[in-house]
Amino acid sequence: MEWLWPALAIVCIIEGLGPLLIPNRWRLYLLEISQQPTNNLRQIGGILVIIGAVSLFFLTR
């Protein structure tokens, strides 16, 4: 469980790069995403969760 906080810190750093470096493009990106159908967002979220889980599995073996 000692890996959880460093992992969350890395996620915060990566997620913060967009608004920090390119705020106008980030805003347009969020507007475009907010107009997508709910099913598309769920599919994208599901794919990202699966990719993350598989990556974590292989990286921690």
* pLDDT score recorded for residue 16: 97
Mean pLDDT, rounded, of the chain: 94
Torsion of Cα atoms, 46 then 51 then 57 then 60, to 10° = -130
pLDDT of residue 4 exceeding 90 = no
Which amino acid, one-letter code, is at 14?
A: I
The pLDDT confidence band at residue 1, using thresholds 50, 70 and 90, is confident
* pLDDT score recorded for residue 2: 86
**pTM (2 d.p.):** 0.73
Q: Give the whole-angstrom CA distance, residue 31 versus residue 29.
A: 5
